[in-house]
Amino acid sequence: MVPKATSVPPPPEHARAPLDLPARFEAAGDVRGRKALVSGGGRGLGLAMACALAEGGAAVAIAGRHREFLDLASHELERRGPRPVLVEADVSDPESARAAVREAAGRLGGLDVLVNNAGSGARGRPEELSEDDYDRIFDTNVKGLYYASCEATAVMAAGGSIVNVASVAGMVPDVELAAYCASKAAVIQLTRVLAVAWGGRGVRVNAVAPGYTDSPLNAHRKADPARAAAVVNGTPLGRWGTPADVAQAVVFLASRASAFVTGQVLTVDGGYSVQR
């Protein structure tokens, strides 16, 4: 038996108002005209991020401690965009971190995007790590990020974007990475603090939190069949992440497509952290 039709009430008056749509939507990978600095951009995930930004149309500067890596990275970047600016810096030193931002902004003619990617780590349980281990990791992962960000926000106009590289290790404990986990948890909370502090200036601060990614940093884990299988089996999407997965998330947060996103952590881990 067909149910009796019921009358549908008219929509409320506010539902009749036209929707304010833009003439065109911003593309998530479009960073044309943006000027970006990537710390630790000479190799690994940092290089992938720099390449993705260059392909999206950004003018890119990369900072790192080793000139050799910067020079090698420059060749790759020139295949994808304008010649990059190379800045030798050690962000674990506060003045070097600040100077890197100043130099990049000066040579690029401004700064719209800062990607705080440079990082340090050490394997070891809490009781096994030395004071020097903790100092080195926090000096790079937390303090370097903080000083570079403070310098960047002083030169960024409204619309600037700071993207911090956190990690699922900042959310999922790993007793073999005690100091690293603690430092990345600090990055996540500092991201939120800076987003609140600088929102009034129009500067957005977000983070990406990669999971297990097929990069040189995880080569030892991937070379161990049992540990590599555990990563895949523990990831709902059933694979390792790629540098491109992380880099494209960074470009989204650097682009105008994320103009109303701040204080957030975009987890790029194939669902690994969801089922921990």
Catalytic one of 134, 146, 147, 180? 180
Q: What crossing angle do the helices spanning 44-55 and 243-254 adopt, rounded to 10°?
A: 50
Determine which helix (DSSP H) or strand (DSSP E) holds 251, and give its type and residue range.
Answer: helix 243-254
- The conformation of residue 158, written as its DSSP 8-state character, comes to T
180 included as an active-site residue: yes
Helix residue ranges, H only, 87-162: 94-108, 131-138, 145-155
Q: How many CB atoms are closer than 10 A to CB 19?
A: 4
Q: Where are the beta strands (DSSP E) in the chain?
A: 35-39, 59-64, 85-88, 113-116, 161-165, 204-210, 265-268
Q: How many CB atoms are closer than 10 A to CB 32?
A: 12
The residue assigned the tokens 């910067």 is 70
**Which residues does the annotation mark as catalytic?**
180
